[in-house]
Structure 1
């Protein structure tokens, strides 16, 4: 189908559950043939079958992964995935692959398709190279965690904006610039994990702390991580909140135990419960934007991309 609406971002895993299928060969088949696809081969089907025929057959059979859910996935892949949409997948080395849909659905009944279990296919252009996890939108990365549909939408709008940006950069074209400010990037568009990463880097470069990766844990709800100052040897802790959630300053101060501890806080909403004057430092959006502009060489690639999208 031709595109009439905004670009949609999708994810497919290219990890067939059919016994004997080599996932590396499955990915390579798609790259070599300039296609993206999902499974559900039908022995009696040939390449004259329509999408309706395939969906009806899938819906009528309930064994071995068939049935209504399979039929709806095939329908989604064939109808809702539009020409011009982007699809993310991964190779067997864990790298991320991005393609742009260029053609309509078709059923591939070839022997090569059966070898790798890729039968519902769309013609695509693949990006010139794979990407690593620091380049890929965080919302895309999270869709590959755990179980889920073999083909699904990536809903956050940030995934669309960054995917379009990456597509242009990977093709060595001038990327688009959005009508957003650098402050809006930080307070409205960055993924929550990216906000934490930005402050994680800021603490090390601007405030002289040494980071310990294992100290960045989810079992300390009052703060995101512990650090050690290179000169004073004081412990430093930070609470970061995104969206409308306020920082609980009293909770943070309570977590600063008997050991000499510096306390920092940042909320994208600028909402703080408690006395900000009790902190070692209240981190402001202006501080972080200035740091991002002056030290972009230290930023993870996707954070750097967001600030590149913003107007000066």
Structure 2
């Protein structure tokens, strides 16, 4: 099972709404042939002449992905113009649609798809959100975390067991979270437990040395954070010139260099404990990851012997 994202954005009439309401995942590139049913071989020949041979290089990657690379039971993400994300379960092979309303919407290369509303960006894995940045119409999201999350969220929202999530070896919360998720966790921790307040505009900064700034609500103390998820080491020398409190978090790496008064090493175990003790204040996507981890751990827990 693969995961895809599709930009339902063409020159036609309300293509996003059309696909979501009609239960399809689709792209355009129609051809001038009304002989139903149009075979793939006939469509390919006509489209090659009309699009590819005329210099349209976007036709083939999109149609090839929909027709040849996607498979029944794959999952696909899309979003509407309000920024609401949907996940779809592909339920049919490719077909070409002739009806006027398909042509009007410029959605003629079609697969049936069961769309489910997921929510806004805070409920969506960062790698799914970032996959919409490239301009291409259809793109595979090749990431195991996204794959697990997509299967879990579809099962959860449809109250089904459509997808079987495989067991992971020694799963922990940080093996499932993205770097953005870890930044959110540390930010929430510092605000709730240490009395810091986040400066929202600092999250947009292009600085390379830290993720965002905070201010301690009682003292006005300025703090910055740096977060690395995975086997990445953090060295105090890289932050010695920052004239503020520095919080460093690496989830699996080491803290290197001499301890300095203004630089604090955050314990990943403490962050994991904070996550599970404060589920209600977490973003939806992190809450979902905690459910996934609990499910995986319960599945691998040994069953007591009756004796």
Residue of structure 1 equivalent to 2:32: 43
- Please state whether the residue corresponding to 1:245 is helix, strand or coil: coil
Residue 291 in structure 1 maps to residue 274 in structure 2: yes
Q: Flag structure 1 segments of 5+ consecutive residues without an equivalent.
A: 1-6
Residue 189 in structure 1 maps to residue 176 in structure 2: yes
Residue of structure 1 equivalent to 2:237: 250
Displacement, 1:85? Answer: 0.6
Distance 2:61 2:39 in 1: 15
Residue of structure 1 equivalent to 2:81: 92
Work out which of the residue numbers 166, 178, 194 in structure 1 matches 2:153.
Answer: 166
Distance 1:195 1:82 in 2: 33
Work out which of the residue numbers 113, 117, 137 in structure 2 matches 1:124.
Answer: 113
Residue 55 in structure 1 maps to residue 55 in structure 2: no
Q: Deviations over 1:65-85 (max 9, x none)?
A: 864552243122112111101
Two-structure CA RMSD over aligned residues (Å): 2.4
Work out which of the residue numbers 135, 143, 152 in structure 1 matches 2:131.
Answer: 143
Residue 75 in structure 1 maps to residue 69 in structure 2: no
Q: Deviations over 1:140-186 (max 9, x none)?
A: 111112x4221110111111111111112212357977645897321
TM-score normalised according to structure 1 size = 0.86
Structure-2 change in CA distance of 1:287 and 1:182 (3 Å):
farther
Asked if the contact 1:55/1:74 (under 8 Å) is kept, the reply is: no
Q: Deviations over 1:248-283 (max 9, x none)?
A: 31222311x2xxx32211112322331246554311
Asked if the contact 1:210/1:230 (under 8 Å) is kept, the reply is: yes
Distance 1:69 1:176 in 2: 35
Distance 1:27 1:87 in 2: 14
TM-score normalised according to structure 2 size = 0.87
Residue of structure 1 equivalent to 2:248: 265
Structure-2 change in CA distance of 1:72 and 1:212 (3 Å):
closer
Residue of structure 2 equivalent to 1:105: 94
Residue of structure 1 equivalent to 2:201: 214
Residue of structure 1 equivalent to 2:303: none
Displacement, 1:191? Answer: 1.3
Structure-2 change in CA distance of 1:253 and 1:30 (3 Å):
same
Structure-2 change in CA distance of 1:230 and 1:178 (3 Å):
farther
Asked if the contact 1:181/1:310 (under 8 Å) is kept, the reply is: no
Residue 10 in structure 1 maps to residue 4 in structure 2: yes
Residue of structure 1 equivalent to 2:21: 32
Asked if the contact 1:226/1:238 (under 8 Å) is kept, the reply is: yes
